[in-house]
């Protein structure tokens, strides 16, 4: 009889871990850019970096992220990054409601940076209909498989030796976003947080919010 696998709940990244990941990508870009023969490897990390930032800054689910096309983030007529992104309801979980998110200045920089290197990665001109996240060797316009990005993220978390790695996955990006919005953006307003993060109810949102363990530990020490 096969033993039933217990599903471990995903956790959010801490603020310290967020910074560690960003420092990790920065060090990769600084180190690999010097070597022409691994330039495509360097660009692959840039794609992963962009995916990571989309996840923690906008909170879309994995399947929603891989559905994004360049026309949704870049205005080809005006030749600039759009100010907001809309994921159509057909690509959203439940397929009931679209979700619109503001693209931050920092995310604009990541998008523009990746666009500038597009031809070097895929050896073909970029079109509005191209998927934003594709396999590094894609010769035609196909979205990257969800499992590929999930495995690359898990490998990165393992390399960085984070605690509770069994609780870290691609879904950790969305949980990180929800936790940050709850604590840092809406000051623990659960109704506002549910609206921003695209949850149908505050009850559904509670699963995504991790307690601020550092603040909890500090208060416990003062009791």
Domains of the chain, residue spans: 15-166
In this prediction, residue 5 carries a pLDDT of: 47
The residue assigned the tokens 């870049």 is 74
Class of domain 15-166: mainly alpha
In this prediction, residue 39 carries a pLDDT of: 61
Higher pLDDT, 223 or 128: 128
Give the mean pLDDT of 105-131: 91
pLDDT tens profile 15-43: 999 999 999 999 887 776 555 445 667 77
Give the mean pLDDT of 131-135: 92
d(C-alpha 147, C-alpha 49), whole Å? 16
User: In this structure, how many other beta carbons lie within 10 angstroms of the beta carbon of residue 14?
Assistant: 17
pLDDT over 90 (residue 45): no
Report long-range pairs for 98-103 (Cβ below 8 Å, ≥24 apart): 99/60, 99/64, 99/198, 101/58, 101/59, 101/60, 103/58, 103/73
């Amino acid at each position: 009889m096969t033993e039933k696998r217990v599903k471990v709940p995903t956790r959010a990244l801490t603020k310290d871990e967020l910074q560690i990941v960003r420092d990790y990508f920065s060090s990769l870009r600084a180190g690999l850019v010097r070597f022409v023969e691994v330039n495509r490897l360097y660009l692959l990390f840039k794609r992963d970096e962009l995916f990571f930032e989309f996840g923690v800054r906008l909170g879309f689910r994995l399947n929603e992220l891989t559905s994004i096309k360049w026309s949704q983030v870049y205005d080809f007529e005006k030749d600039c990054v759009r100010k907001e992104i809309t994921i159509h309801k057909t690509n959203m979980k439940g397929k009931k409601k679209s979700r619109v998110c503001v693209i931050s200045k920092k995310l604009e920089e990541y998008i523009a940076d990746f666009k500038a290197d597009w031809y070097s990665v895929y050896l073909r001109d970029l079109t509005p209909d191209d998927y934003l996240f594709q396999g590094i060797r894609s010769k035609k316009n196909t979205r990257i498989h969800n499992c590929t990005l999930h495995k690359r993220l898990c490998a990165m978390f393992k390399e960085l030796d984070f605690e509770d790695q069994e609780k870290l996955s691609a879904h950790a990006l969305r949980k990180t976003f929800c936790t940050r919005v709850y604590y840092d953006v809406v000051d623990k307003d659960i109704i506002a947080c549910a609206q921003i993060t695209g949850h149908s109810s505050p009850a559904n949102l509670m699963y995504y919010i991790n307690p601020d363990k550092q603040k909890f530990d500090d208060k416990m020490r003062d009791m």
